[in-house]
Amino acid sequence: MDPKNTSENPSRRRAIQAGLVAPVLLTGAASARPKAAPPTLKSPLGLHPKPPFQKQKQEWPGLTSKMEPKPDHGEKSYKGSGKLAGRRALITGGDSGIGRAAAIAFAREGADVAFGYLPQEEPDAKEVVELIRAEGRKAVPLPGDIRDETFCKQLVAAAVKGLGGLDILVNNAAYQMAQAKGLEGVTTEQFDRVFKTNVYAMFWITKEALAHLPAGAAVINTASIQAYEPSKELIDYAQTKAAIVSFTKSVAKSLAEKGVRVNAVAPGPVWTPLIVTTMSPEKVMSFGGDVPLARPAQPAELAPTFVYLASADASYVTGEVFGNTGGKAPF
């Protein structure tokens, strides 16, 4: 039927004559409008480097620039869409690894970012500052050791002053040191260092930040698959990550009435300086090969989870633990 010929549809012809509907005229150009091409899909199996990796070792805390291959934090790949426009974030361990990826993503989503790091990591920190400022956002680098309670309080105060407020807190910095002998190899000194860095600092920083976090703010803690499936070489580290999960869930309940959401991200193997500074070169070579996706995550692959949890998209999400484990999560 010719669509311009209404004689074949008496009811429609009468409606057009009465001015109740408009005639539809289809042209060849309109009917031939090209459809959008489907996106090109890539298998996650080959998306990033997989083991065996080059045998390598660095002294703690290590530098991103000396890793082979160099981790991908989203420097070239992450594209923002304004999800965090006008927000103000403090990230611990923001110079490298997951913290660096979160800092880049937050800035590209429109947030200003303050971040803590150890003074030895200054070369990595300078790169992060440049990446944040390249997006037209404010960068506030804050060097120091979060094992010290006084510094933790100063960290929050400096972030609030530098950013003009605070509405996103990411407790991400962590320390581990693998011990092949298991419990026998863990000294009291190491045990104390791991807990001070991973648990005490989270407690001090979050508590200090409470007075500054308004309704709608978000706290995000970095846990680990180690909280649920601990390795024999990381006994003390795994304990701290289990504590972080518990802390997240209980604090989420206590802050819900204030409108502050608290969640955690539990990664599996992630390619960061933490790996090449705390594991044997032999372990590094095979790192991440035992998960279903057969490779470690790149930090950039975790950034979208942090963005989601910080954004209004997650307004009904609190007290949750999000696994990014390459298929190995026992949640």
State yes or no: is 237 an active-site residue: yes
Q: Which residues lie closer than 8 Å to 32 by C-beta, 6 or more apart?
A: none
Which of 200, 237, 308, 316 is the catalytic position?
A: 237
The residue among 331, 201, 216, 211 whose CA lies nearest residue 262 is 216
Structure tokens at 209: 């930040």
The residue among 71, 178, 76, 169 whose CA lies nearest residue 124 is 71
Q: d(Cα 145, Cα 151) in Å, to the nearest integer?
A: 7
DSSP code string of 9-75: -HHHHHHHHTTSSPPP---HHHHTPPPPPPPPP--GGGSS--SSPPP----TT--GGGSSSPP--ST
Question: Quick check: 302 and 97 in contact, CB under 8 A?
Answer: no
- Cis peptide before 52, with omega less than 30 degrees from 0? yes
How many degrees, rounded to 5, is the angle at CA 57 between CA 54 and CA 63? 100
Q: d(Cα 268, Cα 275) in Å, to the nearest integer?
A: 12
Calculate the alpha carbon distances from 63 to 10, 97, 133, 174, 269 in Å.
78, 10, 21, 15, 18
Structure tokens at 288: 């991440």
Task: Enumerate the active-site residues.
Answer: 237
